[in-house]
Amino acid sequence: MGSTLRALRALVLLAGFYLLGVLLLAVLAGTDYLLFAHAPAAVATKLAVVSVLLAIPLVRGLLMLRTPKGEEPAGLPVSEADEPELWRTVRELADQVGTRAPSRILLTGDVNAAVSEDARLLGLLPGRRLLCLGVPLMQGLTEAQLHAVLAHELGHYAGSDTRLAALTLRGRVQLLRTIRNFEERAGSTEARERVRQERKNARAVARGKEGREIDTGGAGITYRVLARVYTAYAELYLRATLADSRRQEYAADASAARIAGRDATASALREIPVLTGAFGFYARSYATLGTDAGLLPPRGQVFGGFGRMLTARQLELAGLRSELPTEPASPYDSHPPVADRVRRIELLPADGRADEAHGAAIAVLADEERTFAALEDAVLTDEVRQLRRAADWPELLDGAMAANLAALNTPLHRALALYTKDRPTLPALLTLIDNGQLWQLARRLPLSDEAVAAKGRAFREFVRPTLHNSLHSMVMAEFSARSRMRWEFSWEQSAKARLLPPPGSTPEDGAPGLDAAIALAVDTALADSPDTAPLRSLLPPAPRSPRETDAPR
């Protein structure tokens, strides 16, 4: 379907929304006319009031002509002077696609690329164009794959997709507004009816009578009926417009394959879901690791570290690239399934371009480190930017883990506080174990029905795993508080705790042996006949108070 026919259909669907509202208003007006002509005046007047109340959301939907502009994503605008190579690449690809280049380029902090156009007259006239390009996306793509992504996005311009988006967006916004208005009025009517019935019941109870069951099933039913009418039209509208969106994606993929090559386009489609998952993991496990402790990665490394993680985990990521997402298709999806898009591209004949441009896409930027730092200033909130910067990643990890351990709140912590009515500490727990109160304390833990019913040895077996995990965490927190723990930072795998031996010990007394000894001592403390002595002997001594430190010898 050509852009002219798609524009015509979008206009017809948008007009259908207004026509539906006019028809419903006409039905209400005709009903009122018949009521005043044939029904008693009192009845007609009451029903006319109801008609007016129903008409208000209809009229509001018809008069809300202005479509709210979407907010521009947070990002770093770059001029041609800032990034000459990137702009040159985009302009050359736009010429090959056969479309006008974007007016602005915005570098963003997500794994995405998108285009938009500030079209006028409901998209009938072109406007300023914006290309959003995610820096994390560029960190994971080759140069050829980046060309495929850019050619795909520029293909949306060539197909007038961004101009017609204004028409379809108008209809979606108006429908959702109208449905929401009816649902809000139905909810308000139901709430008023509930209050009325509750007051009536309260008066009946005050007179010694039994109140009736609250029933608001009929309240707001007319609003709900009209909401269902618009919901039905919305489903038709979304099915039609989103089907167009999926066809536009196929067309843009074809444009990318023609310009950048079959293999680069298919591999880019395979790579994007992998990068999306990898960046989510990176953000959780690295970039925001220290925020609770008031720490940020070194300057420029909030985004710069992602490339380092990708390099370190290439083998792990290679396995993910062979597995395409298998999400189920829906008529309300704006994009076709990735697997289907890749299959279509890979069925195209070979074009002999498999060996083109294997360099890193991020190299197209004039100064990667400068861009990483500037992007942080553009996308991070003022509150986040005010956090203290760690000197390096190991310092960030140590600070974050120390803060997490200091704020530890396990089920055992909560049970101990409940049992002792005091602050839960490891010394207090060990004293309680020595006094033979461990299993009474365990009854305060969150328990399954089976554990609650169990007694004796069976009960101890049920609760011992929870006790072991919590006590081990408390011991680790004690080592951390006494500066006897370091964390081994790695881009390839999860961080590992390294327990430091006491000052003056030999290298043979290092972390691995100490860690095993702690695990054994925890088991001994939680045995059927508990013994805390081995654990107490391993714990680092508490620091002396200033008075003790300064006392004369």
Q: What pLDDT sits at residue 463?
A: 92
Helix axes 262-282, 221-260, angle to 10 degrees: 130
| Greater pLDDT, 57 or 376 | 376
Q: According to the model, what pLDDT value does residue 367 have?
A: 95
Between these two residues, 68 and 488, which has the higher pLDDT value? 488
Q: Tell me: the pLDDT tens digits for 158-169?
A: 877 666 666 676
Indicate the range of 86-95, 243-252, 279-288, 391-400 predicted with least confidence.
Answer: 243-252
Give the pLDDT score at 14.
66
Dihedral sign of CA atoms 281, 285, 289, 292 in order:
positive
Q: What is the pLDDT of residue 92?
A: 96
pLDDT top residue among 205 and 142: 142
Grade residue 10 by pLDDT with cuts at 50, 70 and 90: low
Query: Residue 517 above 80 pLDDT?
Result: yes
pLDDT recorded at residue 433: 94
- What is the chain's percent helix, strand, coil content, to nearest 5? 65, 5, 30
pLDDT winner (highest mean) among 31-45, 200-214, 232-246, 380-394:
380-394
Number of other CB atoms surrounding residue 221 within 10 Å:
13
* Number of helical (H) and strand (E) elements in the chain, helices listed first: 22, 8
pLDDT at 186: 81
**Encoded amino acid at 44, one letter:** A
Half-sphere exposure of 529 (CA within 13 A, CB side): 0
Return phi, psi of residue 314, to 5°.
-60, -40
**For position 549, what pLDDT does the model report?**
45
- What pLDDT band is residue 138 in, cutting at 50, 70 and 90? very high
- The pLDDT, as a whole number, for residue 332 is 67
pLDDT at 507 over 70: no
Mean pLDDT, range 475-490, rounded to an integer? 88
Q: Tell me, what's the pLDDT at 283? A: 96
pLDDT tens per residue across span 256-280: 999 999 999 999 999 999 999 999 9
What local confidence, expressed as pLDDT, does residue 65 receive?
47
**H or E element, residue 185:** helix 161-206
CA 269 to chain centre: 21
Mean pLDDT over 420-446 rounds to 92
Phi and psi based region of residue 275 (left: phi greater than 0; alpha: psi -120 to 50; beta: remaining): alpha
- Taking the C-alpha atoms of residue 134 and residue 114, their distance in angstroms, rounded to an integer, is 9
Residue 408 scores a pLDDT above 60: yes
Model pLDDT, residue 333: 76
Q: Which residue has the higher pLDDT, 539 or 492?
A: 492
Top pLDDT among 505 and 538 is at 538
Q: What is the model's pLDDT at position 155?
A: 92
* pLDDT of 501 higher than 80: no
As a whole number, mean pLDDT of residues 394-421 equals: 92
Asked if residue 509 has pLDDT above 50, the reply is: no
Share of the chain above pLDDT 70, in %: 85
Determine the average pLDDT of the residues in 479-485.
85
Residue with tokens 């040159």: 88
pLDDT at 318 over 60: yes
Residue-by-residue DSSP string for 114-130:
EEEEEEETTTTEEEEEE
Query: Which of 17-31, 390-404, 424-438, 525-539 bottoms out in mean pLDDT, i.e. has the lowest?
Result: 17-31
**CB atoms near residue 509 (< 10 Å):** 13
Q: What is the pLDDT of residue 43?
A: 66
5 — pLDDT class (breaks 50, 70, 90)? low
Question: What is the DSSP-derived secondary structure letter of residue 294?
Answer: T
Task: Give the dihedral sign, CA 369/375/377/381.
Answer: negative
pLDDT of residue 503: 64
* pTM, 2 dp: 0.75
Token code pair at residue 519:
């695990």
